[in-house]
Amino acid sequence: MEYWLFILALVSYGVATCIWLGFVWFQRDFLHRCAVWTVTLGWCSHTAGLIWQTVAQGFLPVGGLAAALSLYSWTVTTAFLILNWRYPVKVLGAMASPLAALLLSGSLILPRPPELAPILQSSWLSFHVAAALLGNATFALAFLGGILYLIQERQLKGKRFGFFYKRLPSLETLDALNYYCINIGFVLLTLGIISGSLYAQYTLGTFWQWDPKETMTLIAWLLYAGLLHERLIKGWRGRRAALLAIAGFVVLMVTFIGADFWHRSYHRFDTFGRLP
């Protein structure tokens, strides 16, 4: 049953992407409203699928790359819907919806993992993964906002008021979006790191293994911590903040995907559940 709920979510995200592209071209508010409602339908279906899986398995499905991509797609959509209410950067949906659709497509294509070890069938592990992925999702929106900022800034500096100029919000709005997302994402990522360390102490007997994924996540955390510090103390704004938001998200993506290629990492999805 959850498979068809995910299919409905994927179709909704795809249709919303098409509607948003129409909004970007024609700039009609009713297209934006239609796209938001379509994404909300997909989010509801996606949420129902995750609940169905959780009830069937007894814990939130977080083991394996397929499950992680599905949850990541859901967190991106959740973060976008919240952000659309707080900072309605309408054009952002044209980037967030295809990203959610791409992640969910990968989840449906990839094979399902074997059953997790009983010690990892835990609500605490589910909280750790969910907090980390929600943090990643808000950082993803900061990344997209940073790209939009650089595009708009380039048009303003070059005085090329082309296709995107009237379709993008002001630099101040995009900078505020960046700051808001990074604040929320930093808190969530910190919760993810702390909960993961506590769970590692419970399962492995140590808070920190210097696993490659742990190390890369720490580097990303330090990048975002440095960005927040410079914004608060030195008033960093604009281009530098956008570039650091982009750099931090690239590190997170290398961490998320690269875990499968680091043979020393117990965070590898194909060996997840077999403790060192």
CATH code assigned at 8:
1.20.120
* 8 and 50 together in one domain: yes
* 108 and 159 together in one domain: no
Last residue in a domain, options 113, 135, 150: 113
165/20: higher pLDDT? 20
Which pLDDT does position 275 carry in this prediction?
47
Query: What b/e sequence results for 213-246 when a residue is b if at least 16 CB atoms lie within 10 Å of its CB, and e otherwise?
Result: bbebbeebbebbeebbeebeeeebbebebbebbb
Burial class (CB in 10 A: 0-12, 13-18, 19+), 188: buried
* 24 and 65 together in one domain: yes
* 43 and 152 together in one domain: no
* 101 and 134 together in one domain: no
For residue 208, what are the contacts with CB-CB under 8 A and spacing of at least 6? 197, 200, 214
* Nearest one of 7, 24, 10 to 166, comparing CA atoms: 24
The DSSP line for 56-82 is: HHSS---SSHHHHHHHHHHHHHHHHHH
Identify the H or E element spanning 114.
Answer: none
User: How crowded is the C-beta side of 205, counted as CA atoms within 13 Å?
Assistant: 2
Last residue in a domain, options 69, 98, 113: 113
The CA distance from 196 to 230, in Å, is: 27
Model pTM score: 0.85
Asked whether the predicted pLDDT for residue 269 surpasses 60, the reply is no
Burial class (CB in 10 A: 0-12, 13-18, 19+), 151: middle
pLDDT in tens, 246-257: 998 998 888 877
pLDDT in tens, 12-32: 999 999 999 998 888 888 999
* 197 and 231 together in one domain: yes
Contact predicate 39/80, CB 8 Å: yes
* 248 and 163 together in one domain: yes
> Looking at the 3D structure of the chain, how many domains does it have?
2
* 75 and 172 together in one domain: no
* 105 and 128 together in one domain: no
pLDDT in tens, 90-108: 888 899 999 999 999 998 9
pLDDT in tens, 221-246: 998 998 888 888 777 778 888 998 99
* 104 and 175 together in one domain: no
* 188 and 264 together in one domain: yes
Last residue in a domain, options 97, 113, 129: 113
Ramachandran bin of 158, using left for φ above 0, alpha for ψ from -120 to 50, beta for the remaining angles: alpha
Domain that holds residue 187: 117-276
pLDDT band at 63 (very low <50, low <70, confident <90, very high): low
Structural tokens at position 111: 């094979």
pLDDT band at 202 (very low <50, low <70, confident <90, very high): confident
* 108 and 144 together in one domain: no
Which pLDDT does position 18 carry in this prediction?
95
